[in-house]
Amino acid sequence: MKSFEVVFQPGGLETEIPEGSTIMEAMHRAGIDADFPCGGRGKCGKCRVKILAGGGEPAAVEREILAEKELENGIRLACAAKIHGHMTVQLPERLRHNILIASGERAYQIEPHLRKVYVELEKPSLDDLRSDWRRFRDTLAGHGSDGTGPALPLALLRRLPSTMRKAGYRLTAVMHGDKIAGFDGGDSTATMLGMAFDIGTTTIVGYLLDLYSGRELGVVSTLNPQTGFGADVISRITFAGREKDGLYRLHNAVIGAINNLVEEAVEKAGASREQVYGISVVANTCMHHLFLGISPENVAVAPYVPAISEPLVVDAGELAIDINRAGKIFILPNIAGFVGADTVAVLLATEMDRSEDVKLVIDIGTNGEIALGTKDRIVACSAAAGPAFEGAQISSGMRGAAGAIDHVYFGDKLEYSVIGGGSPLGICGSGLLDTVAGLLELGIINKRGKILPLEQIANTSALRFKDHLTEYEGESAFLLAGASETGHGRPVMITQSDIRGLQLAKGAMAAGVRVLMEVYGIQAGDIKEVLLAGAFGNYLNPHSACMIGLIPPELEGKIKMVGNAAGTGAKLALLSSSEYSRAADIAGFVEFVELGSYPKFNSIFAECTYF
């Protein structure tokens, strides 16, 4: 199959994509976490892009949605326009924020952690009997190394004699500060690649980067194989503690996944593992510990202290990560047991530590992390939202994967979008939010979350959805898709219990926001910007989030999606040693607020469960 190159402007981010893919798919592949409100069905018209070069005939849905004039000017729908040749695409303002973050192109200076120095050694002779190591060290001393550092790790020293002889006494030293981290035979200075990893509880994403230019060469991702041992953080901590070799198996699983992703990324980019010298890692505190092979057990019990929060640089070999032998792993610092390096990376990417204005950053998940602040003060907490946002423990719930209803529209009739198109199989968190928000607006459910009986619904326009009101296992429910519409022949619905589940989840998040505002001493109106990070935050409908009170309603106009900001933070920390140090500063600067011990937390939480 043919494939073509798509270049996105501004930013110049490039990606290769098979013929017949849509521009939306190319954006996904390039790591641009854009928002497709209708799920890419060509319905909402929100994904307008401008084709600057290349491009073919518009599809039928494009002709429907776009004006003749727009089509003349090269405006197309990213979700519908197919790629049949090399193409340059201009992203609209609305998406630029995402791509700039996604491609790590907020202002930063490339300052590689590692430095390569090519040296040609004198050959040993009877007049020059220095040991191989001494010869190497002395020669480097003339090239900026002080030559007094400690010897190489033994594993590298063992390779020195044969490598230097096979390469005709020409070596490239890889320096980490003053220390020799390793060496390649010959002159390898032309290339130095790295990978930034965001290890999520569910998904691991890796970005392949050129450490010299900062250019992104590819994005790879996989399901975190630890899901096989437990879906969430707590079940994995339990597994690590109870099962034989539990910690070791979890550790090995994530290391194996990282090694596979490195292989996949370099293969796609036509490079090799040996060209990868640095890896940065962000993760929540539990995933961080499991990645390092450190028991996370104490993260799960009060007072929830991590084994280590400080930034950590580890030899790749120490973690059995198969990259260049000189390779280093740069692990970002944690803040607390449930506010990990991923949150630090989000703060780094969004530069809250340099913001004059008060920003609120929310990463919604089973454990939602919330941070609030400016350059002068940042407070952060973790809210135990539970699994509702992930679609778990919801009657028709599922993850935000193919077949999930991710958005619901209450127009003349009920409409919804399904991830990947096709018939629905269930509903994911963003769809649940839209549904409950819509039912609230229509007065079908009340402030306490109760689905009202038909006779109590005051809003007559709500009655057009009366056929959707039904019962399931003895409780009220709202039908989204009848059995005949779905992919598995079972109806997809929202039950009263599902709404209760969502209330607990949003209540926890909203209470977290409220407590942080109290601790900080501000009102919602003082917040200038709300940044939603992470996969879920990127897909939810801001209006729905405000409607149900997940986010204070007065902030609706200030919400921005920042895509995978944790991944962006990981990239920044990989490309710039200053940004890596800055991550440590951020982790040390943030005040952690333990919600469970906040005096009024229980009453705030109870209040926040109402809509």
Q: Is 215 left (phi over 0), alpha (psi -120 to 50) or beta?
A: beta
> Is 303 a residue that touches its own copies (CB under 8 A)?
yes
What does DSSP say about strands 193-199 and 276-283: parallel, antiparallel, or unpaired? parallel
In terms of CB distance, is 371 or 451 closer to its own copies?
A: 371
Residue of 540, 185, 565, 551 lying closest to 360 (CA atoms): 551
Q: Which of 9, 74, 141, 304 binds its own copies (CB under 8 A)?
A: 304
Check: CB of residue 149 under 8 Å from CB of residue 180. Answer: yes
> Is 294 a residue that touches its own copies (CB under 8 A)?
yes
**In whole angstroms, how close is the CB of 279 to its own copies at the nearest point?**
15
Q: What is the largest CA-CA distance in the chain?
A: 103
In terms of CB distance, is 398 or 587 closer to its own copies?
A: 587
Total residues contacting its own copies by CB under 8 A comes to 46
> Is 307 a residue that touches its own copies (CB under 8 A)?
yes
What residues have CB less than 8 Å from 367, skipping those under 6 apart? 233, 284, 338, 382, 383, 384, 385
Query: CA 576, CA 190: separation in Å to the nearest integer?
Result: 19
> Is 308 a residue that touches its own copies (CB under 8 A)?
yes
In terms of CB distance, is 9 or 298 closer to its own copies?
A: 298
Residue of 120, 609, 82 lying closest to 388 (CA atoms): 609
> Is 589 a residue that touches its own copies (CB under 8 A)?
no
> Is 177 a residue that touches its own copies (CB under 8 A)?
no
> Is 464 a residue that touches its own copies (CB under 8 A)?
no
Tokens of 467: 């056929």
Stretch that binds its own copies, among 151-159, 255-263, 362-370, 483-491 (CB under 8 A): 151-159
- Distance, CA of 63 to chain centre: 34
> Is 280 a residue that touches its own copies (CB under 8 A)?
no
Stretch that binds its own copies, among 42-50, 127-135, 497-505, 522-530 (CB under 8 A): 127-135
> Is 314 a residue that touches its own copies (CB under 8 A)?
yes
Q: Which of 69, 154, 521, 525 binds its own copies (CB under 8 A)?
A: 154
Check: CB of residue 200 under 8 Å from CB of residue 257. Answer: no
**In whole angstroms, how close is the CB of 594 to its own copies at the nearest point?**
6
Stretch that binds its own copies, among 25-33, 69-77, 148-156, 484-492 (CB under 8 A): 148-156
**In whole angstroms, how close is the CB of 305 to its own copies at the nearest point?**
4
> Is 221 a residue that touches its own copies (CB under 8 A)?
no
Check: CB of residue 480 under 8 Å from CB of residue 435. Answer: yes
Query: CA 438, CA 562: separation in Å to the nearest integer?
Result: 25
> Is 320 a residue that touches its own copies (CB under 8 A)?
no
> Is 305 a residue that touches its own copies (CB under 8 A)?
yes
In terms of CB distance, is 315 or 406 closer to its own copies?
A: 315
Whats the size of the chain, residue-wise? 611
φ and ψ of 471, to 5 deg: -130, 150
Q: Which of 63, 86, 143, 165 binds its own copies (CB under 8 A)?
A: 165
Residue listed under structure tokens 């450190």: 294
**In whole angstroms, how close is the CB of 297 to its own copies at the nearest point?**
7
Q: Which of 238, 272, 298, 497 binds its own copies (CB under 8 A)?
A: 298
What does DSSP say about strands 87-90 and 114-120: parallel, antiparallel, or unpaired? unpaired
Give helix 341-350 / helix 577-589 axis angle, nearest 10°.
110
Q: Which of 86, 134, 143, 466 binds its own copies (CB under 8 A)?
A: 134
Coil vs helix vs strand at 550: coil
Q: Which of 14, 485, 556, 594 binds its own copies (CB under 8 A)?
A: 594
Residue of 548, 556, 500 lying closest to 530 (CA atoms): 556
Stretch that binds its own copies, among 145-153, 166-174, 231-239, 569-577 (CB under 8 A): 145-153
In terms of CB distance, is 38 or 345 closer to its own copies?
A: 345
Q: Which of 94, 130, 215, 558 binds its own copies (CB under 8 A)?
A: 130
Of 325-364, binders to its own copies (CB under 8 A) are 334, 336-337
> Is 129 a residue that touches its own copies (CB under 8 A)?
yes
Query: CA 480, CA 262: separation in Å to the nearest integer?
Result: 41
In terms of CB distance, is 162 or 213 closer to its own copies?
A: 162
Tokens of 307: 């084994």
Check: CB of residue 567 under 8 Å from CB of residue 106. Answer: no
Q: Which of 93, 126, 242, 447 binds its own copies (CB under 8 A)?
A: 126
DSSP state of 531: E
Tokens of 343: 């949150």
> Is 293 a residue that touches its own copies (CB under 8 A)?
yes
Residue listed under structure tokens 């510990």: 289
Query: CA 373, CA 353: separation in Å to the nearest integer?
Result: 8
> Is 300 a residue that touches its own copies (CB under 8 A)?
no
**In whole angstroms, how close is the CB of 261 to its own copies at the nearest point?**
21
DSSP 66-93: S-HHHHHTTEEETTTPBP-S-EEEEPPH
> Is 590 a residue that touches its own copies (CB under 8 A)?
no
> Is 161 a residue that touches its own copies (CB under 8 A)?
yes
**In whole angstroms, how close is the CB of 335 to its own copies at the nearest point?**
9
Residue listed under structure tokens 């018209």: 45
**In whole angstroms, how close is the CB of 202 to its own copies at the nearest point?**
25
> Is 245 a residue that touches its own copies (CB under 8 A)?
no
CB atoms within 10 A of CB 270: 8
> Is 515 a residue that touches its own copies (CB under 8 A)?
no
In terms of CB distance, is 73 or 131 closer to its own copies?
A: 131
Enumerate the β-bridge partners of residue 222: 204
Which amino acid is it at 337?
Answer: G
Query: CA 422, CA 58: separation in Å to the nearest integer?
Result: 22
> Is 157 a residue that touches its own copies (CB under 8 A)?
yes
**In whole angstroms, how close is the CB of 537 to its own copies at the nearest point?**
26
Check: CB of residue 349 under 8 Å from CB of residue 582. Answer: no
> Is 292 a residue that touches its own copies (CB under 8 A)?
yes
Residue of 427, 434, 602, 442 lying closest to 507 (CA atoms): 602
> Is 306 a residue that touches its own copies (CB under 8 A)?
yes
What does DSSP say about strands 426-427 and 114-120: parallel, antiparallel, or unpaired? unpaired
Tokens of 460: 């007559």
> Is 451 a residue that touches its own copies (CB under 8 A)?
no
Q: Which of 222, 259, 295, 355 binds its own copies (CB under 8 A)?
A: 295
Query: CA 444, CA 466: separation in Å to the nearest integer?
Result: 9
In terms of CB distance, is 132 or 187 closer to its own copies?
A: 132
Binding-site ranges for its own copies (CB under 8 A): 124-126, 129-135, 150-151, 153-154, 157-158, 160-162, 165, 292-295, 297-298, 302-310, 312-314, 318-319, 334, 336-337, 592, 594, 597
